[in-house]
Amino acid sequence: MAIIQCAISGLKIQVSHVPMTLTPQDGYYHPIFALPYKKLYGLYSKHCTEQLTPEESYLLFLAFLNSTDKIAWYHHATCKPRDLTTRKLIENNLAQLIKVIELTNLIQHPSFKQPSFSVNLDNSKLLQIPNWINAWEDNIKDFHKGISFQRLQEDIVKIENKLSYCIKSSYPEERYTHLVANWADKTAGFPANKSEEWKAIIRASFNKTKMFHTPLTTLHEIKNYCTENIEQGSIFWFTLMSILNAAINKHSSYLGIEGIDILGYAILPNNKTQYETELERVKATAPINEPKSSDYPSHADYIKAKLKYRVSILAEKTAAATAAANTINITGKDTKL
C-alpha cells in the first residue's frame, strides 16, 4: 500500500500495491486534478446538494482553482477540510470562483490575460483566495471597458472620416448635422439622460422654429458641455461650434430681431441703431389686437404673431416709462432752479 501526500491539497491518498511513501515535494497529485472541467462541474452539483464530504468539497474547490492555470503551487495547501474556517472559505467563494472562470473562458481575445498568483508556505491557508477572485473579476471589467473604449474610438474615427469628406466636399452644414451630433456625443460623452435630446437639438440646429422653442439655456448648456469635454482646435470642433452658434442665432432671430427680452429669452443687441431699426420693423408688422389661433393657418404663424404683438406692447410700455422718467427729471431740475 502506497501513501501519497498530494502536492496541491496536502491530503494523503492510499494506493494499492508497492508499499512506499511520497511527499508533496515528489510532485504527485490527487486524481481529481486531472479531471476535465466538465466533470468538475458535475461534481459541483453534488456539492450543492450536500452529497460530498468536507474532504471531497475541499478537493473540488482546489481543483477548480487549479483549473484556472493561474496558480503556481510552490507549497501544498495547509487547510484542514473539516475546520470551520476552511468550510466557510469554500462556501463563500466556490460559486464566485466558478463564475469568474466561466467569464474568463468566454473571452477569446488573444490580448486578454488574467493575473497569476502563487501559493507558498506563508499563504498556504489560502485566505487570499477572495482577493484573487476579485482581481480576476476587476481584470475582466477593465478589459471590457478597454474594448468598449477601443470601439468608441473606432466609431469616432469613422464619423470624423465622413465629416471630413462632407466638409472638404463643401456640403452645407445642414446636410451633415446628424454626423456632428453623433461625433459630439461620442467624443464629449453626453450625459445618458440628455444624450438623445442634445443630439436631436444639434440635428435641428438650422431649423429656426425648433430652435426658438428650444430654451436658450439648453443651447448654452450643450455648448458649454462640449467646450469643457472636447479637445479644441480640430476641424470637427470648429464645425460643431459653428452649428451650435447657428442654433443660438436661429433662436434669437426667430422674429427677425435681436435684443428683445420675452418669455425669459434675452440677447442684447450689438448695435443700438440696428436694434431700433429692427424693433420698428417688428412693430410695423405686429397685429394691433392680440392674435387668436383661429386667425392663422398654422400654430407656428400664430406663435410668431403673438410674440410680435407682445414685443410691440412691451416696446410701447418701455417708451412710455422712459418718457415719464425724463419728465420727472426735467421737473426736478426746474424746481431746484
Burial class from Cβ neighbours inside 10 Å (0-12, 13-18, 19+) for residue 183 reads: buried
Give the model confidence (pLDDT) of 228-245 as tens digits.
888 766 777 788 888 888
Residues 318-336 have a mean pLDDT of 55
Confidence at 165, pLDDT banded by 50, 70, 90 = low
C-alpha cell at 19: 508499499
Mean pLDDT, residues 122-132 taken together: 95
Judged against a pLDDT cut of 90, whether residue 32 lies above it is answered with yes
Say if CB 230 and CB 187 are below 8 A apart. Answer: yes
Taking the C-alpha atoms of residue 278 and residue 256, their distance in angstroms, rounded to an integer, is 7
pTM of the full structure: 0.50
As a residue count, the chain comes to 337
117 DSSP β-pair partners: 71
